[in-house]
Amino acid sequence: MRRFRFLGIILTGIFFCFAEAEAATKLLRGVHSITYDIINPKGLCSIPNYSNDGFEQKVIAEDSFSKKLKVTVKLDTFKSRASFPIPNSIIGRDLRAFLKSEERIQSDNHLIRSYARDITRDAKTVKEAFDRIINWVMDRLTYKIETPQDAYSVLINKLGSCQGYSNLSVALLRSAGIPARLVYGYLPPGDIWGATKVYWDVEIQEGGPHAWIEVYFPDVGWVSTDAERSKNFVDPFHIVLAIIGTDIKSDCYAGGKVLIDFKEMTSFTIAEEVNEVESLDEVDEPQKPMLERVAIGDTFRGRILARITDTSGKPIKGAEAILWKGLSGDVLPASNSGDVQLVGLEPGVYNVTFRAGGYAKDERGISLEKGETKKIDIMLSPGGKITGRVMSKGGKPVAGADVVLWEGRRGSVHQVKNDGSFIIDYLTPGKYQLSARAEGYKEKFVEKEVKKSEAVNIDFILEVSR
């Protein structure tokens, strides 16, 4: 079942709830590439060229003070069918180093070995065993920087940063006989990252030094995974600086630390970005939201792909869709390009509301056949809104008040802020009846007409009930 985080909006008359969905694991396919201009007037350290299955980074131009780096992620179908456990006969000398226990990756610890054995019990393929381990780590750890980051401590404390997630994942994989290794790199800051970034509905923490892992599949090769957020790929906001145990190493990395630092005058600018990644479905494991590359054998339910624009065809920033599920509404934000994807849908008819601030909402009934993908263009016309305040006769805001917008017998309740103000947006031009109410006061009704692109103000003065 999908999980919901309820917002402070309740619809009454008939009772409704809007809910902002905590995204399930999304199955992705497509290509995403970013070309960065990286500049530091004091000089830049080296950045290696590197590629594995699905990932490539390449320096395409450079001088002493700048580099143009292209990072490409290809999310084609992951095709590993290798059986588990991996036979010793196909693990060569070059791979054995990535099965060994290390100081911070205690893969021979009896407790880690016991967990690895239990987690992967009865797994038939390497991918199945890998999935179980990453899901287990994702669901049981809580992100924390100020805590020991070695695999054993992370296992015991259930706390870790990117290093802790990576160390424990590698230790469990090695204990299960699956070669795995650490990657150190950098997440570019700036407009894309800032303090946080929402990438396919998954919130990613601020940019800076980062750690993730690579896992070896006998029939595919080395594959990237970020145990905090993505399986069998990392997005192009990951810049590889060092792969531990290999000769892939930048002079930006030394002694276990990434030396490149945005605060020390290094700037990252996106010169070009091509993002053709699409979400095909959702799965329930792990329980926390994650991203996953599609794999061979995956089957997909229905999808609604909508592009929300204004009447000139320009994408509307901040647009969103509400997928109604009975009396609950699942709020799904559109991308900056106006695209919103509703996935994991069984056959049936779905009621969807498309809206954006300053525009009249568009409500649709959309039917889907089994596994069908339906693409629709939504053009929102300018709408109106109602603003105002709810006050007592003495001119003070009324605590706990709300305003009801009536549409026939159905009323939508809009909460009033502590200062008494409220706003009702997304209105189609027309006449509306509203009421304001609060415990201990008489409910007051008014009727107002809202015109296109108009903001109507209504101030309610409530009388104390006798």
- For 188-210, the pLDDT digits (tens) are 864 343 334 454 555 544 467 88
The predicted structure's pLDDT at residue 214: 98
What average pLDDT score do residues 172-178 get?
98
- DSSP annotation of 166: H
How confident is the model over 75-88, as pLDDT tens digits? 999 999 999 999 99
Identify which of 357, 352, 324, 351 has the alpha carbon closest to the alpha carbon of residue 340.
352
Task: Record the tokens describing residue 391, joined without a space.
Answer: 């006050």
Task: Record the tokens describing residue 453, joined without a space.
Answer: 């692109």
Q: Is the per-residue pLDDT at 360 higher than 50?
A: yes
Task: Record the tokens describing residue 394, joined without a space.
Answer: 């003495």
Cα distance between residue 435 and residue 413, in whole Å: 9
Phi-psi region of 209 (alpha: psi -120 to 50; beta: other; left: phi over 0): beta
In the chain, how long is the greatest CA-to-CA distance?
A: 87
Task: Record the tokens describing residue 455, joined without a space.
Answer: 């903001």
The predicted structure's pLDDT at residue 195: 34
Tokens 């407009």, residue?
A: 191
Residue 74's pLDDT band (cuts 50, 70, 90) = very high
Sign of CA dihedral 288, 293, 299, 301: positive
Q: How many CB atoms lie within 10 A of CB 49?
A: 12
Cβ neighbourhood burial of 352 (10 Å; 0-12, 13-18, 19+): buried
Provide the H-helix boundaries in 87-158: 93-96, 110-119, 126-140, 151-157
pTM: 0.79
The predicted structure's pLDDT at residue 189: 63
The predicted structure's pLDDT at residue 257: 72
Higher pLDDT, 169 or 259: 169
What domains are there in the chain, each with its CATH number?
A: 3-26+294-380 (2.60.40.10), 27-280 (3.10.620.30), 385-462 (2.60.40.1120)
Q: Which of 9-13, 39-43, 246-250, 398-402 has the lowest mean pLDDT?
A: 9-13
Q: Is the per-residue pLDDT at 5 higher than 80?
A: no
The predicted structure's pLDDT at residue 20: 46
What average pLDDT score do residues 435-464 get?
93
How confident is the model over 244-270, as pLDDT tens digits? 999 999 988 877 777 665 456 677 888
Cα distance between residue 170 and residue 159, in whole Å: 16
- DSSP annotation of 176: T
What average pLDDT score do residues 319-323 get?
94
Query: Strand pairing of 328-333 and 430-437?
Result: unpaired
Task: Record the tokens describing residue 182, joined without a space.
Answer: 């650490």
Q: Which of 120-129, 194-203, 221-230, 362-371 has the lowest mean pLDDT?
A: 194-203
Q: Is the per-residue pLDDT at 9 higher than 70?
A: no
Across 177-266, the runs of DSSP E, i.e. the strands, are 180-187, 197-199, 202-204, 208-217, 221-225, 230-231, 239-243, 253-254, 257-258
Percent of the chain with pLDDT over 70: 89
Q: How far is CA 210 from the centre of its chain?
A: 18
Task: Record the tokens describing residue 331, joined without a space.
Answer: 């709020």
Q: Is the per-residue pLDDT at 226 higher than 80?
A: yes
Residues 6+ apart with CB under 8 A from 203: 196, 197
Q: Is the per-residue pLDDT at 99 higher than 90?
A: yes
Q: Is the per-residue pLDDT at 44 higher than 50?
A: yes
The predicted structure's pLDDT at residue 202: 53
Q: Are 423 and 385 in contact (CB under 8 A)?
A: yes
Sign of CA dihedral 388, 390, 394, 398: negative
Q: Are 42 and 26 in contact (CB under 8 A)?
A: no
Give the residues across from 25 on adjacent strands. Answer: 283
Cα distance between residue 419 and residue 416, in whole Å: 8
Higher pLDDT, 66 or 41: 66
The CA-CA-CA angle for residues 229, 180, 93, to 5°, reads 165
Across 318-450, the runs of DSSP E, i.e. the strands, are 320-325, 328-333, 339-345, 348-355, 362-368, 373-380, 384-392, 402-407, 410-415, 421-427, 430-437, 444-450
Residues 6+ apart with CB under 8 A from 141: 154, 158, 159, 160, 164, 165, 168
Q: At what angle do helices 126-140 and 110-119 cross, to 10 degrees?
A: 120
Task: Record the tokens describing residue 278, joined without a space.
Answer: 């699409």
What average pLDDT score do residues 150-164 get?
97
Sign of CA dihedral 328, 332, 338, 342: negative
Q: Is the per-residue pLDDT at 337 higher than 80?
A: yes
Task: Record the tokens describing residue 18, joined without a space.
Answer: 């809007």
Cα distance between residue 401 and residue 13, in whole Å: 16
Q: Are 437 and 395 in contact (CB under 8 A)?
A: no
